[in-house]
Amino acid sequence: MKVLTDGPRISVARVARTQGNRGEVAADLLTDFPERFSHLREVVLEKDGEASRELVLDSFWLHKNRVILKFQGIDSIDQAKKLAGYEVTVLESEKIPLPAGTYFQDDLVGCSLIGKSGEEYGKVIEVVLYGSNYLLKIQGASREFLVPFVEAFFLGIDLQERLIRCDLPEGLEEL
C-alpha cells in the first residue's frame, strides 16, 4: 500500500462504534457529500495521541444518518472496537468543489470577523450546528460569542485574506 500521509488531510467521518459482528463500524458523517465514499479506496484513520492507520475501504453503506464502513483486515468486533474515535481522513486536495457562496467549515475557522467600519470582533474558533442553523463561535477580546451564519449579516468572505466582513446588529456580541 502506498503512503497516504503526504500533505494536509481533511476528515470525512468519525468512527462512533462497531456495527454488526464482521468488523464493520458506524461513523458520523463529517461531509456534506456522502457519495464520496463510493470513490474512496485507501484512507488514513487519525486520532489524537494515537498512530495513524492506513486502511483500505472494502465497502460502505448509509444507515440512519451514519455511514457504515467495512475495512480490509478488520474482521471482528474486537478489531473494530479499536477504531472508535478515529477520524477517516483524505488528502485536502480531494476536497469536493463547492458552489459559489458556500464554504467548508474548516476554511472559516481562523478567519477574523471585521465590522463594516473596520472594527475587529475577533476570530472564528468553531462553526457550530444548532438545529438546522450554523453559528460562528467568535473569540473576542474578552469573551466568546456566537454569530448566526446568515447572509444578511455578512458583506463578504475572503478566504485568501482570512477575513469575514460583517454588519452585525448592535449588541449581538454582548449576548
* Distance separating alpha carbons of residues 32 and 87, to the nearest angstrom: 16
Retrieve residue 159's grid coordinates: 478566504
pTM metric for this prediction: 0.69
Q: What pLDDT score was predicted for residue 162? A: 95
Is the domain of 89 the same as that of 23? yes
Question: Which CATH number characterizes residue 67's domain?
Answer: 2.40.30.60
User: Total domain count for the chain?
Assistant: 2
Is the domain of 25 the same as that of 75? yes
Which residues fall within 8 angstroms of residue 133, CB to CB, at 6 or more apart? 148, 149, 150
Domain membership flag for residue 174: no
Question: Which CATH number characterizes residue 113's domain?
Answer: 2.30.30.240
**Confidence at 1, pLDDT banded by 50, 70, 90:** very low
Give the pLDDT confidence of 80-103 residue by residue, as tens digits: 999 999 999 999 888 888 888 888
Query: What DSSP state is assigned to residue 107?
Result: H
Range of the domain at 46: 9-94
Give the pLDDT confidence of 5-54 residue by residue, as tens digits: 567 888 999 999 999 999 999 999 988 889 999 999 999 999 999 999 99
